Every structure is written in structure tokens, then in C-alpha cells.
């Protein structure tokens, strides 16, 4: 599992360099033909990992419900996200995965609720979702890069 966590964590850490030089206003901007912004995508990565690993695993998430509900699948940016919230997201990028890696060493996810992703992938246990997470993370990292390109082109 350690390699999969690394595959998730390194791009998350690299996002700091990706967004370097963008203003908080640019990070909050929703360009034409997009329905979210860079900061929402970053928060969404944390929230989704908490939902699909912890909640579906029958375990209380590490992150508070307000944060999760703000960035959960199906939500959209509804408020200006401050520099302080950005800092919190960047901290959660690292701390939630470090804790998750420790939690994977226990039996705490043995009550996992099976489900099927919107992409048709059946997730039956914590191992399945850990294997699926890099796909989801990569998808949103790609969105962030695309949003940045659009922002810098305008």
C-alpha cells in the first residue's frame, strides 16, 4: 500500500508548485465552460478520500463534516476560499494521507460498504478503493492544470 499512497501524495505536494504565482482571486475564479475552480478541486481531493475511505469504511473521517460537505462530490464552489483555507487544504493534503497510511495498518476498515463508482468500477473493500484513488486524484490534478492554463491565457 505504501507505493499507492506515494503515488497519491507526490502529485498533491507538487500542486503547491503548480499553483505558485496564482493569486487567491485566480485560484477562486471559475472560468467560462468550467463549473468549479482550482481551490474547489484541491478541497475535493481531500473530502472524497475521506468519504470513500473512512465513511464507506464505517469509520469517522479525520476531517470535519463541514469541510467534507463543502467539497464533496456533487458540490460546487459557493463561497470565496481564503488564503487561510488554502493553507489548511495544503496541510490536509499531507496529514490526511499520513494518517490514512497508519490507519491502513489496522483492521479499522473491515466494515466497508460496497458501491459502484460513476465510472462503473465496483468497490468492495478498502483495498479496491485504495487502488482506485490514484485514478480519481489524477483526474482532478488534470482539471487543475487545465484551469491554470485557461486562467493564464485570459
For the domain that residue 16 is a member of, what is the CATH number? 1.20.120.450
Q: What is the pLDDT of residue 141?
A: 96
pLDDT digits (tens, 9 = 90+) for 88-103: 999 999 999 999 999 9
Q: What is the pLDDT of residue 1?
A: 59
Query: What is the pTM for the complete model shown?
Result: 0.95
pLDDT digits (tens, 9 = 90+) for 124-140: 999 999 999 999 999 99
Longest dimension (CA), the chain: 50
* Helix-then-strand count for the chain, H and E: 6, 2
Count how many domains the chain has: 1
- Domain region containing 55: 2-153
Q: What is the pLDDT of residue 129?
A: 96
Secondary structure string (H, E, C) spanning 103-125: HHCCCCCCCCCCEECCCCCEECC
Average the pLDDT over 16-37 and give the result.
96
Amino acid at each position: 500500500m505504501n507505493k499507492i499512497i506515494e503515488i497519491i501524495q507526490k502529485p498533491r505536494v507538487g500542486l503547491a508548485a503548480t499553483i505558485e504565482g496564482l493569486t487567491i482571486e485566480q485560484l477562486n475564479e471559475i472560468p467560462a465552460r468550467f463549473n468549479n475552480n482550482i481551490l474547489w478541486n484541491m478541497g475535493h481531493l481531500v473530502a472524497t478520500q475521506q468519504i470513500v475511505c473512512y465513511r464507506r469504511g464505517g469509520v469517522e473521517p479525520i476531517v470535519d463534516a463541514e469541510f467534507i460537505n463543502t467539497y464533496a462530490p456533487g458540490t460546487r464552489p459557493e463561497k470565496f476560499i481564503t488564503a487561510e483555507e488554502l493553507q489548511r487544504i495544503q496541510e490536509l493534503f499531507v496529514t490526511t494521507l499520513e494518517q490514512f497510511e497508519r490507519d491502513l495498518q489496522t483492521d479499522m476498515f473491515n466494515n466497508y460498504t460496497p458501491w459502484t463508482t460513476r465510472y462503473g468500477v465496483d468497490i468492495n473493500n478498502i483495498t479496491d478503493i485504495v487502488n482506485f484513488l490514484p485514478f480519481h486524484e489524477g483526474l482532478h490534478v488534470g482539471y487543475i492544470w487545465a484551469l491554470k492554463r485557461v486562467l493564464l491565457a485570459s
